């Protein structure tokens, strides 16, 4: 027991616990070794290099024991969703012919005290029996979140059991525990200390080269038209995860079947990208005229500011509803960026606020259409203040646990950034009002404009003095 807390969770009779355990055992058959290998995981070269040592350890444990070296017990993969964390864990088991025991943190979250802990114990018992084995716990934050003074007896017992199990391997038992989370900042320190999950590997979204390789993995069993340029597709899918890319390849294949094609062509890939980015096209959506006009100005505002501020290049603007959105602008960044300046972040916010700014300017009032834009803009501003030290509080950053105490100060800084950007968005669009009207009316007529069409419209205005482009 790590520490005592007030117990507010309901207790279960021992007989009931035994019955639930039995059910657990019945529902979970032993998993075979996965067939996934490292070559199925595209990109992530540095991570794979790091893992080679662990793989060698599982394959030849005596070599390390002779030297008195201890096997690393826990590896923690952290990073955004869909980036290949589960795939990598499967590949480790596949490469080492180990038994694979996947679980999700949420499976251990139970209402009844003791059930989660029992499940952890059962999982580890099975893995030890099948050694060498790999236990993979996805969403480990569901059970490994920082313990607080607020009591949750069941959660604490489950986490404690996990810690006890990780401490308790015998040297001849080769069991590697791999945890995965999107939120490493939430994890309890006890879980991260040496001897437990002490190897942390960040699995981020793929860069352009890795995206190309991931796309190649996912089209290798599909008939692809020779005109499809995978390099170009990789460039156009900036910011997407491996899961998005595998989804695009699959959607393109389904579309090719629907279009009675023998091969998957560039049209199918284009449609698949749009579907993944913006959701399903709502062909029969009825948008009233007034709303269509509002959406035209809103999207024109985004696209125009993107051009004026020279942020990511616009590849398409549309007011054909897709998913929940009544319109959208697709951007295709030229290159992967790892460092972004204050000015560039503010430019991004201005582009995000461009839709609302255009509505304000033209109609004198704003609509609910900017909900998602506002979320994204505020999230960038929050990161600038709390993580990047890019506010008036210069070079200060705020740990998540401190934010509650400094909320009004942080909120004031976020407000400063958002207000400044919004004023700039309005003023830039005001200076280019003719152009805004022109782009919006073309969009209203055609409903979709390509990046090239937008460039042509802008070219007409380039010589006019009121259209000033950012340097």
Dihedral angle of Cα 229, 234, 237, 241, to the nearest 10 degrees: 140
The dihedral sign for the CA sequence 308, 310, 316, 320: negative
CA 121 to chain centroid, in Å, comes to: 31
- Point out which span in 78-86, 120-128, 185-193, 417-425 binds ligand ATP (CB under 6 A): 78-86
Residue 263 CB: number of other CB atoms within 10 A?
13
Nearer to ligand ATP, 83 or 152 (CB): 83
Candidate ranges 19-27, 76-84, 220-228, 445-453; the one touching ligand ATP (CB under 6 A): 76-84
Q: State the minimum distance, in angstroms, from the CB of residue 79 to ligand ATP.
A: 7
Closest contact distance (angstroms) between CB of 211 and ligand ATP is 9
Helix, coil or strand: residue 375? helix
Three-state DSSP at 198 gives strand
* Residue 201 interacts with ligand ATP (CB under 6 A): yes or no: no
Q: Least CB distance from residue 60 to ligand ATP, whole Å?
A: 27
Q: Is 138 an interacting residue with respect to ligand ATP (CB under 6 A)?
A: yes
**CB atoms closer than 10 angstroms to residue 420:** 14
Contact call for residue 86 and ligand ATP (CB under 6 A): yes
Determine if the peptide bond prior to 74 is cis (ω within 30°). no
Interface with ligand ATP in residues 425-444 (CB under 6 A): none
Q: Which stretch binds ligand ATP (CB under 6 A): 38-46, 114-122, 157-165, 445-453?
A: 38-46
Distance separating alpha carbons of residues 355 and 320, to the nearest angstrom: 16
Closer residue to ligand ATP in complex, CB, 201/418: 201
Would you count residue 214 as binding ligand ATP (CB under 6 A)?
yes
Report which residue's Cβ sits closest to ligand ATP.
242
Q: Which helix (H) or strand (E) holds 109?
A: none
Tokens, residue 269: 């890939």
Token digits of residue 391: 């506010």
Residue 181 bridge partners (DSSP): 78
- Shortest separation between residue 106's beta carbon and ligand ATP, angstroms: 12
| Minimum CB–partner distance for residue 166 and ligand ATP (Å) | 21
Q: Annotate 275-299 with DSSP letters as a single string.
A: HHHH--B-TT----HHHHHHHHHHH
Stretch that binds ligand ATP, among 17-25, 42-50, 438-446, 447-455 (CB under 6 A): 42-50
**Cα–Cα distance measured from residue 29 to residue 101, given in angstroms and rounded to the nearest whole number:** 10
Asked if residue 242 binds ligand ATP (CB under 6 A), the reply is yes
Residue 230 binding ligand ATP, by CB under 6 A: no
Applying CB under 6 A, the span of 37-45, 47-55, 229-237, 390-398 interacting with ligand ATP comes to 37-45
Nearest 5°: the CA angle 410, 414, 417 is 140
Positive or negative torsion for Cα 148, 134, 247, 242: positive
Region binding ligand ATP by CB under 6 A among candidate stretches 238-246, 322-330, 405-413, 420-428: 238-246
Q: Which residue has the tokens 């030229």?
A: 334
* 61 near ligand ATP, judged by CB under 6 A: no
Return the residue of 173, 182, 378, 416 that touches ligand ATP, per CB under 6 A: 182
- With CA atoms as reference, report the closest residue to 192 among 176, 179, 203, 173: 179
**Rounded Cα gap, residues 85 and 60, in angstroms:** 24
Kindly state the smallest distance separating residue 91's Cβ from ligand ATP, in Å. 9
Nearer to ligand ATP, 42 or 358 (CB): 42
Under rule CB under 6 A, residue 34 binds ligand ATP: no
Q: Based on CB atoms, which residue is closest to ligand ATP, 241 or 432?
A: 241
Q: Does 42 bind ligand ATP (CB under 6 A)?
A: yes
CA 282 to chain CA centroid, Å, is 25
Alpha-carbon distance of 364 to 357, in angstroms, equals: 10
E-strand stretches of 279-437: 313-318, 328-332
Judged by CB under 6 A, the residue of 12, 33, 34, 44 near ligand ATP is 44
Provide the minimum distance between the beta carbon of 337 and ligand ATP in the complex, in angstroms, as a whole number.
20
Active site residues: 299
Among 87, 176, 215, 351, binds ligand ATP (CB under 6 A): 87
* Using rule CB under 6 A, residue 84 touches ligand ATP: yes
CA distance readout (Å), 85 to 75, 92, 242: 11, 11, 10
281 binds ligand ATP, rule: CB under 6 A: no
Residues that bind ligand ATP (CB under 6 A): 41-44, 81-87, 138, 180, 182, 214, 217, 242-243, 246
């Amino acid at each position: 027991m790590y520490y005592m807390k007030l117990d507010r969770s309901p207790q279960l009779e021992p007989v009931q616990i035994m019955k639930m355990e039995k059910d657990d055992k019945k529902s979970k058959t032993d998993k075979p070794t996965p067939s996934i290998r490292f070559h199925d995981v595209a990109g992530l070269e540095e991570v794979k290099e790091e893992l080679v040592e662990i793989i060698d350890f599982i394959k030849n444990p005596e070599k390390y024991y002779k030297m008195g070296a201890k096997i690393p017990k826990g590896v923690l993969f952290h990073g955004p969703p869909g980036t290949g964390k589960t795939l990598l864990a499967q590949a480790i088991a596949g490469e080492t012919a180990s038994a694979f025991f996947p679980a999700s943190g949420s499976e251990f979250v139970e209402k009844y005290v003791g059930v989660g802990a029992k499940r952890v114990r059962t999982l580890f018992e099975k893995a030890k029996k099948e050694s060498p084995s790999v236990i993979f716990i996805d969403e480990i934050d569901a059970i490994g979140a920082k313990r607080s003074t607020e009591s949750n007896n069941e959660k604490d017992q489950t986490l404690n059991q996990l810690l006890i199990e990780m401490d308790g391997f015998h040297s001849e038992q080769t069991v590697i525990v791999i945890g995965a989370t999107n939120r490493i900042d939430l994890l309890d320190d006890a879980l991260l200390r040496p001897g437990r999950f002490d190897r942390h590997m960040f699995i981020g979204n793929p860069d352009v080269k890795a995206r190309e390789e991931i796309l190649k993995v996912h089209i290798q069993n599909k008939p692809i038209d020779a005109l499809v340029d995978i390099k170009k597709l990789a460039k156009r899918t900036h910011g997407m995860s491996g899961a998005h890319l595998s989804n695009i390849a699959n959607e393109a294949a389904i579309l090719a079947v629907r279009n009675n094609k023998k091969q998957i062509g560039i049209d199918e890939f284009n449609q698949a990208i749009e579907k993944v980015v913006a959701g399903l096209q709502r062909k029969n959506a009825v948008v009233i005229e007034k709303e269509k006009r509002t959406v035209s100005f809103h999207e024109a505002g985004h696209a125009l500011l993107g051009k004026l501020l020279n942020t990511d290049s616009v590849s398409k603007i549309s007011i054909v509803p897709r998913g929940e959105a009544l319109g959208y602008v697709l951007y295709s960044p030229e290159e992967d960026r790892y460092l972004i300046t204050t000015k560039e972040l503010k430019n991004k916010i201005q582009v995000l606020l461009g839709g609302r700014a255009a509505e304000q300017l033209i109609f004198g009032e704003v609509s609910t259409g900017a909900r998602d834009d506002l979320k994204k803009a505020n999230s960038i501003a929050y990161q600038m203040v709390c993580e990047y030290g890019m506010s008036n509080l210069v070079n200060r950053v705020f740990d998540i646990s401190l934010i509650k105490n400094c909320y009004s100060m942080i909120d004031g800084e976020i407000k400063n950034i958002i207000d400044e950007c919004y004023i700039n968005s309005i003023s830039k669009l005001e200076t280019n009002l003719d152009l805004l009207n022109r782009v919006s009316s073309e969009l209203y007529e055609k409903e979709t404009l390509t990046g090239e069409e937008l460039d042509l419209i802008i070219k007409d205005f380039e010589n006019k003095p009121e259209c000033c482009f950012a340097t």
